[in-house]
Amino acid sequence: MKQMKVEINELIRPELKKIKSYQKEDKEKQYKIDLSGNESPFDLPIEIKREITEQIIKKPLNTYPNLYTENLRCSIVNYLDLDLNCNQIIVGNGSDDVLDMLTDTFIKQGDFVLALAPTFSMYKFFTVLSGGNYYNIPLTKNTVTFKKIKHKIDTLNPKMIFLCSPNNPTGEMIDQEIILRLAESYKGILVIDEAYADFSNTSVIRHVNQHTNLAVTRTFSKAFGLAGIRLGYLVGSKELIEQVNRVLKPYNINSITSMIGRIILKKNKLIEDRISKIIKEREKMLNIFSLNKNWDVYPSSANFIYIKGEDIFNFAKLLNQNSIKIRIFKKPKAIRITIGKPKDNKLVVDLFKDFKGGKEDE
């Protein structure tokens, strides 16, 4: 009997039709230098890789890992060195995973979610995935005020707000005072994404005990240089974490990721050294880019630099021709360059010096 063709696309949840699958742009082109993903340019030193290898040899892989990663969560609490309990942390497969858990827990069909723009694209993705309505306010460069956000809260009544500080892609910080005033007055879930906070040395984690609605996310992918192991975490009040735990899947972190995470948390000195190297490079590059008076070079508290400019795509093209991959944004016209190894940054700076600018050739 001939089988009838099943129209698979008719079977999916309607909200998924708004989502395109996440595909890396320029997949076919190979670049020598990738400054597009805000990763750390530094891999782990060989001694630490050896330490990890020895641990893997000792570790039984036929058994499930620790059910809810208690050891790792407690190591994170020790590292943060704040008045927190291990039960105030949830770890995930990258911080994307804990952001997803947040919308999964709190956002239902039709709920509004508020964010600023431009910002990290996954907030919209997770909102739509949960059936929520995503709304953003275009606010950057010192235009972010409590009043403007409060006004939107009053008109939209969002269930959740995402604020990214330092913000991807602009690199700007959101004033702690604004965050705390919002946490105080807002009745929904206030998510502060601190993926890049290690580069700014400021955090609102210590306030989670006073504000039950404050959810802070962190990652091992950026300053810790471990994007490959996929590890991130959420910190919140006991009450908030208790609710998010409802959507947590058992054994969600594999034993190798968990073990590597615990090892790196003991290497404070290495991490601090690398952060200061990146900051030093960032400041040097910011100063140099700022020499181009036709560009709007944003001050950065993260490991990347955001630049707007009429002819900025010509510079992007020049980098591209020299096998350097960066991130391009069409609206508004801007680029984001991750701080790389000193030699790679020098290459970017040399190309900047060669760059004549002028009218853009589309």
Residues that bind ligand PLP (CB under 6 A): 38, 94-96, 120, 164, 168, 193, 195, 219, 221, 227, 232
Least gap, CB of 232 to ligand PLP (angstroms): 4
Q: Which two tokens stand for residue 64?
A: 């499930």
Which of residues 183 and 195 has its CB atom nearest to ligand PLP in the complex?
195
Least gap, CB of 63 to ligand PLP (angstroms): 26
Which of residues 195 and 352 has its CB atom nearest to ligand PLP in the complex?
195
For residues 329 and 323, give the distance between their C-alpha atoms in angstroms, rounded to a whole number. Answer: 18
Which of residues 223 and 352 has its CB atom nearest to ligand PLP in the complex?
223
Which of residues 224 and 313 has its CB atom nearest to ligand PLP in the complex?
224
Which of residues 130 and 221 has its CB atom nearest to ligand PLP in the complex?
221
Burial of 319 (0-12, 13-18, 19+ CB in 10 A): buried
- Do 119 and 162 form a contact (C-beta atoms < 8 A)? yes
Least gap, CB of 4 to ligand PLP (angstroms): 41
For residues 82 and 59, give the distance between their C-alpha atoms in angstroms, rounded to a whole number. Answer: 31
Q: Which two tokens stand for residue 179?
A: 């965050």
Q: What is the CA angle 239-220-238, rounded to 5?
A: 10
Least gap, CB of 159 to ligand PLP (angstroms): 20
| Residue in the shown chain whose Cβ atom is closest to ligand PLP | 94
- Do 133 and 127 form a contact (C-beta atoms < 8 A)? yes
Least gap, CB of 42 to ligand PLP (angstroms): 16
Which of residues 163 and 178 has its CB atom nearest to ligand PLP in the complex?
163
Least gap, CB of 160 to ligand PLP (angstroms): 15
Q: Residues with Cβ < 8 Å from 61, sequence gap 6 or more?
A: 255
Burial of 359 (0-12, 13-18, 19+ CB in 10 A): exposed
Q: 325: which strand partners?
A: 34
Q: Residues with Cβ < 8 Å from 357, sequence gap 6 or more?
A: 292, 294, 311, 314, 315
Which of residues 107 and 311 has its CB atom nearest to ligand PLP in the complex?
107
Which of residues 69 and 221 has its CB atom nearest to ligand PLP in the complex?
221
For residues 233 and 219, give the distance between their C-alpha atoms in angstroms, rounded to a whole number. Answer: 6
Least gap, CB of 362 to ligand PLP (angstroms): 28
Task: Residue 74: name the closest of 225, 204, 266 by CA.
Answer: 266
Q: What is the largest CA-CA distance in the chain?
A: 73
Least gap, CB of 194 to ligand PLP (angstroms): 8
Least gap, CB of 220 to ligand PLP (angstroms): 7
For residues 240 and 195, give the distance between their C-alpha atoms in angstroms, rounded to a whole number. Answer: 20
For residues 313 and 99, give the distance between their C-alpha atoms in angstroms, rounded to a whole number. Answer: 32
Which of residues 232 and 340 has its CB atom nearest to ligand PLP in the complex?
232
Give the length of the chain.
362
For residues 28 and 217, give the distance between their C-alpha atoms in angstroms, rounded to a whole number. Answer: 33
